[in-house]
Amino acid sequence: MTGNIPPVLRPERLLPRPVAALAHECGLDIIGDADGVEATGMTVMTREVVPGDIFIALRGINRHGAEFAAEAVASGAVAILTDPAGAELARDAGVPLVVADDPRALLGDISAWFYRTDDDAPQFFGITGTNGKTSTAYLLEGILKQLGIVTGLSTTAERHIGDMSVVSRLTTPEASELHALVARMKEHAVRAVVIEVSAQAMTHNRVSGIRFDTVGFTNLSHDHLDDYADMSEYCDAKARLFQPDVARRGVVCLDTVWGERIVAEAHIPVTTISSTGHPDAQWSVEIVEDNPAYTEFTLTSRDGFTMTTREPVIGRHMAANAALAIVMLIEAGYDPYAIAHALDRDGGIHAHLPGRTEKVSGESGPNVYVDFGHSPDAFEHTLAAVRRFTPGKTIMVFGADGDRDATKRFDMGRVAAEGCDILVITDHHPRFEDPAAIRAMLLEGAHSVTDGPEIHEVSPPEDAIRLAVSLASEGDSILWAGPGHQDYRDIRGVRTVYSARDLARSSLREAGWAN
């Protein structure tokens, strides 16, 4: 993919690592002369090779990374890490080849050794689930900051090192990039790192080499069935995070039936939480007050500890995310009374969640929210939150990803139509699919709703948001789901510059609403 690609964060002062020592320490073979060859970085992407790197040539879906060995060496790669097939392809590269039967499986451990991430390691928090991972990560990071901890963050939206922030590429970066990020964090005195962990990250070993102090599970619902055969296999990928070689302790939300399965399959100590009154939960969440500015809730444990606080995002489901973050910190050893004191002192959790039901409109005119949600379950919860505080019409704008799980599109259209008064179906990331074909699947689901909303099909999304704003009045709300924080659209492999937040604001101004 080309254009507008965020940077990879690497350590600034990495001591060179001998390639021969890497092979010896990790039990790998070397082809060629590695004596005196030292490396200062690692990458799986040819375009990101800089002088001194080890190029990690992995087998892809269509091609083998070793086919690009000459290009990597021309950019300054001093060695290539690959498998036996890759070694054959790269035999004339002119640099030493480090060979492993399955380099992806070992990449986390290799990266941990290379970047010394185990030396004086920070605390690691990992969060998985279908929806709420990013929100929980931001909320957890916010509380840590309120406790005076220097933090690092890796989510779908952003990477943080203290106060520095860059836009993310993958939900969970490749292992080599993740360990480089942690090494950079350590240079900046980060003592706690919060990482959003996708199912694909577990399947493809992206967090290998890191042992989490505490991990959390939010929920599981229909998504990613282009990567997994069924929901059971999808759940198994998430459950892998709750094993002793990956994490020390876990916190599991029981608000979906899959939470019980995660607990049953976990082989680490697990604490449970629920916002829906699950009888087996060790912690319970009760909503005290919800309004467009915050949700106030009480968190209570079976042993009698209780605290009441606020999270800063619209929606009752966000209280469950905030409570999960708090219990994860308690399980990691933080004093619950110190947490309660810090949040009481500050009037609740301080955190900005980019593109998570983010209001982008002003004081007058319709409320406009931009959200990253892209599953039926996310639509249901977010629409319910928006409708709760909308005296007028609720208008929804959304599209769907191309070349991704098509089995959820009907339900995305259906749930959207069930929850709004006016529905505008448009495009999102078509990738290499026909946008009209994607919209047709969404429209099929939307039209299946009896006595459904007024439905419009509009392409491109710039015109869709303009139409939505033209149909809205004071007291109405527009929810634009899908793009969230993202600043691009993927059109046939090219990242086209695009911001839903900016487009929504400009559409409001064109319509005469100040924002």
Whether 211 and 307 map to the same domain: the answer is yes
Whether 373 and 459 map to the same domain: the answer is yes
How far is the CA of 185 from the CAs of 45, 190, 368, 375, in angstroms?
22, 5, 36, 32
pTM given for the model? 0.92
Mean of the per-residue pLDDT values of the chain: 94
Whether 287 and 141 map to the same domain: the answer is yes
pLDDT band at 4 (very low <50, low <70, confident <90, very high): low
Whether 327 and 385 map to the same domain: the answer is no
Q: For residue 463, how many other CB atoms are within 10 A of its CB?
A: 13
Q: Residue 3: what pLDDT?
A: 46
The number of helices, as runs of H, and strands, as runs of E, in the chain is 16, 26
Q: What value does the mean pLDDT take over residues 285-298?
A: 95
CATH number at residue 273: 3.40.1190.10
pLDDT digits (tens, 9 = 90+) for 421-451: 999 999 999 999 999 999 999 999 999 999 9
Whether 53 and 172 map to the same domain: the answer is no
Residue that finishes a domain, picked among 320, 346, 372: 346
Residue 78 exposed, middle or buried by CB count within 10 Å (0-12, 13-18, 19+): buried
Q: Residue 2: what pLDDT?
A: 44
Whether 303 and 393 map to the same domain: the answer is no
Q: Residue 399: what pLDDT?
A: 97
pLDDT digits (tens, 9 = 90+) for 375-385: 999 999 999 99
pLDDT band at 1 (very low <50, low <70, confident <90, very high): very low
Q: What value does the mean pLDDT take over residues 461-484?
A: 96
Compute CA 86 distance to the chain's CA centroid, rounded to the nearest angstrom.
31
The proportion of the chain whose per-residue pLDDT surpasses 70, expressed as a percent, equals: 98
Whether 379 and 280 map to the same domain: the answer is no
pLDDT digits (tens, 9 = 90+) for 201-237: 999 999 999 999 999 999 999 887 888 899 999 999 9
131: in domain: yes
11: in domain: no
Alpha helices, H only, 240-297: 258-265
Residue 253 φ then ψ, to 5°:
-85, 130
Q: How many domains does the chain have?
A: 3
Residue given tokens 């009896």 in the structure block: 450
Compute CA 188 distance to the chain's CA centroid, rounded to the nearest angstrom.
23
Give the structural domain span for 64.
17-115
Q: Residue 116: what pLDDT?
A: 95
Whether 109 and 134 map to the same domain: the answer is no
Q: What value does the mean pLDDT take over residues 271-296?
A: 96
The yes-or-no verdict on residue 25 having pLDDT over 50 is yes
Whether 203 and 336 map to the same domain: the answer is yes
Whether 366 and 476 map to the same domain: the answer is yes
Q: What value does the mean pLDDT take over residues 328-343?
A: 98
184: in domain: yes
234: in domain: yes
Q: What value does the mean pLDDT take over residues 180-191?
A: 97
288-305 CB burial, b ≥16 within 10 A, e <16: eebebebbbbebebeeee
The yes-or-no verdict on residue 171 having pLDDT over 90 is no
330: in domain: yes
353: in domain: no
Whether 488 and 430 map to the same domain: the answer is yes
257: in domain: yes
Whether 164 and 183 map to the same domain: the answer is yes
How far apart, in whole angstroms, are the C-alpha atoms of residue 52 and residue 31? 18
Determine if the peptide bond prior to 460 is cis (ω within 30°): yes
480-494 CB burial, b ≥16 within 10 A, e <16: bbbbbbbbbbbbeee
Residue that finishes a domain, picked among 89, 115, 141: 115
Residue that finishes a domain, picked among 59, 88, 115: 115
pLDDT digits (tens, 9 = 90+) for 98-114: 999 999 999 999 999 99
Q: Residue 70: what pLDDT?
A: 97
CATH number at residue 408: 3.90.190.20
CATH number at residue 84: 3.40.1390.10
362: in domain: yes
